[in-house]
Amino acid sequence: MATTLSIGLLSSFSLFAAQEVPVSPPGVKQVQNSDIARGEYLAIAADCAACHTNPATKRTFAGGYPIHSPMGVIYSTNITPSKQFGIGNYTEHQFEQAVRHGIRADGGHLYPAMPYASYAGLSDEDVHALYLYFMHDVQPQEGATPETALSFPFNIRQMMWGWNLLFLKNGAFQPDSSQSDAWNRGKYLVDNLEHCGECHTPRNMMMAQMQGKDALTGAALGSWYAPNLTADNLGNWTRDQLKQYLKTGDVPGKAQAAGPMAEAVTNSLQYLHDDDIDAIITYLKALPASLQAQPNKSIDKNGTDTNVDSQIRSTQPLGSHLPDNLSGATLYDTACSSCHQPDGKGSADHFYPSLTNNSATGGSSPNNLVSTILFGVEREVNGKQVLMPAFGPGSQVQSLSDQQIATLSNFVFHQYGNPALQVTPEQVESLRTGGDQPLLTRIAAPATLGAGVVAILIVLLLSLRALRKRRQDH
């Protein structure tokens, strides 16, 4: 995905620039190739491709990626410079309005499936560089994307005006002069450009990110759980471990990135410059513990002192029909122990990670173990693929039932992870069905957004009426 600047494009662009602005007035900057390159870096950091490139068609930035919500499917749009289908006619001002304020060129409001609430803090220079990159170095892609047609009343885009009024913080990020440059850069990356909070921050009733001490304290994300990033959870990670996680998604003895985090590492984080990764870590390390009611138990204490067999106990032939009443140990030996080993300690070279001292088995939420079993692990770093097969629907290896996954997960939590965690087959079923909402179940997840928007609308209409009435009365 890290398209390097193509020489051909660049030279044709220089031609274009030469024709457009034959003589640049004094003080007006020429479009610099370095600005375009910076724009490309910013687009990778902001992971615009995550939503605007449909993995089914792989046409970069051509849109059409379906984001499922209870109100219907929201399709990402074509943001290539195609004049007919994309944003080729957008002025820089219109682009800025879309990215930072969620308003399209035709004045229509975007749904927050486009994370403009995070991008609102982008600096003017960064919006400018992004614009140059999209206009001059992205290949136009022709072809319409499906129309987003939500059911009433969500098809009234104007409703987002009320949501924005309540929750959109306008104005570019303002550095805090009492903090270091690295901290400020880190905060900008975490809150705005990399929008970590879109996944890691819990949401209020209206699906807006919670602020203050609740920020980054962990949130369910469809089938997955994005863990707490404050000192409660990351306090015993070293800076080097965090760096290794963000750049590769794998820290033996701590965690592996699967699901949406694997996407963030694959498409965005591995390409960040070291000083940006260091800045992110400086900011995360400075986050105070969130003092949640149930602090996460240190995963380092899990699974290490349980006395687990290092011998295979009993197996069933894979690929056959497995009865629902198999024990957790048999399911584990059948489906998992060839890679993760009977004692759960993984392979000596850590390629198959240990399930003890692992945040997916020892954290505070069962989601990531269950979803790893259902959907597997898929990540690509430095051109190398990391793959764990899925055991959910359509598995190439063995599709396990909700009952089997619950039994197996409870065995794994008990033997190798946090024994306080328990899952039921019903929970597995719900995680299974949340799973085809890849990234942004966040805007969508519960019906609360629906109820919330209607509530805002009613409140706004009532207050407008009250206002008007007051005016008439006077």
Enumerate residues 40-59 that contact ligand HEC by CB under 6 A: 43, 46-48, 50-52
- State in angstroms the smallest separation of the CB of 464 from ligand HEC: 24
Q: Are 62 and 145 in contact (CB under 8 A)?
A: yes
Enumerate residues 3-42 that contact ligand HEC by CB under 6 A: none
Is residue 391 near ligand HEC by the rule CB under 6 A?
A: yes
Q: Which of 31, 44, 62, 87 binds ligand HEC (CB under 6 A)?
A: 87
Q: For residue 100, which of 73, 83, 121, 80 has the smallest C-alpha distance?
A: 121
Task: State the number of CA atoms in the 13 A half-sphere of 330 facing the CB.
Answer: 13
Is residue 414 near ligand HEC by the rule CB under 6 A?
A: no
Enumerate residues 133-172 that contact ligand HEC by CB under 6 A: 148
Nearer to ligand HEC, 62 or 114 (CB): 114
Enumerate residues 421-460 that contact ligand HEC by CB under 6 A: 439-440
Binding part of the chain for ligand HEC, among 94-102, 166-174, 311-319, 457-465 by CB under 6 A, reads: 94-102
Nearer to ligand HEC, 21 or 144 (CB): 144
Nearer to ligand HEC, 14 or 243 (CB): 243
- State in angstroms the smallest separation of the CB of 277 from ligand HEC: 9
Q: Are 252 and 354 in contact (CB under 8 A)?
A: yes
Q: Which of 13, 41, 245, 375 binds ligand HEC (CB under 6 A)?
A: 245
Handedness of CA 5, 250, 182, 50 (dihedral sign): positive
Burial of 463 (0-12, 13-18, 19+ CB in 10 A): exposed
Binding part of the chain for ligand HEC, among 26-34, 165-173, 253-261, 452-460 by CB under 6 A, reads: 253-261
Is residue 467 near ligand HEC by the rule CB under 6 A?
A: no
- State in angstroms the smallest separation of the CB of 255 from ligand HEC: 3
- State in angstroms the smallest separation of the CB of 455 from ligand HEC: 20
Q: Which of 200, 203, 345, 414 binds ligand HEC (CB under 6 A)?
A: 200
Enumerate residues 96-125 that contact ligand HEC by CB under 6 A: 98-99, 104-105, 110-111, 113-115, 119
Is residue 227 near ligand HEC by the rule CB under 6 A?
A: yes
Binding part of the chain for ligand HEC, among 2-10, 303-311, 382-390, 460-468 by CB under 6 A, reads: 382-390
Count residues near ligand HEC (CB under 6 A): 76
- State in angstroms the smallest separation of the CB of 473 from ligand HEC: 39
Q: Which of 36, 135, 258, 445 binds ligand HEC (CB under 6 A)?
A: 258
- State in angstroms the smallest separation of the CB of 462 from ligand HEC: 26
Binding part of the chain for ligand HEC, among 176-184, 189-197, 207-215, 454-462 by CB under 6 A, reads: 189-197
Is residue 231 near ligand HEC by the rule CB under 6 A?
A: no
Is residue 76 near ligand HEC by the rule CB under 6 A?
A: yes
HEC string of the chain? CCCCCCHHHHHHHHHHHHHHCCCCCCCCCCCCHHHHHHHHHHHHHCCHHHHHECCCCCCCCCECCEEEECCEEEECCCCCCCCCCCCCCCCHHHHHHHHHHCECCCCCECCCCCCHHHHCCCCHHHHHHHHHHHHHCCCCCCCCCCCCCCCCCCCCHHHHHHHHHHHCCCCCCCCCCCCCHHHHHHHHHHHHHCCCHHHHCCECCCCCECCHHHCCCCEEECCEEECCCCHHHHCCCCHHHHHHHHHHCEECCCEECCHHHHHHHHHCHHHCCHHHHHHHHHHHHHCCCCCCCCCCCCHHHCCCCCCCCCCCCCCCCCCCCCCCCCCHHHHHHHHCHHHHCCCCCCCCCCCCCCCCCCHHHHCCCCHHHHHHHHHCEEEEECCEEEEECCCCCCCCCCCCCHHHHHHHHHHHHHHHCCCCCCCCHHHHHHHHHHCCCCCCHHHHCCCHHHHHHHHHHHHHHHHHHHHHHHHHHC
Enumerate residues 334-373 that contact ligand HEC by CB under 6 A: 335-336, 338-340, 352-353, 355, 358-361, 363, 368-369, 372-373
Binding part of the chain for ligand HEC, among 168-176, 207-215, 222-230, 451-459 by CB under 6 A, reads: 222-230
- State in angstroms the smallest separation of the CB of 165 from ligand HEC: 17
Q: Which of 82, 256, 266, 418 binds ligand HEC (CB under 6 A)?
A: 256
Is residue 412 near ligand HEC by the rule CB under 6 A?
A: yes
Q: Which amino acid is at 474?
A: H
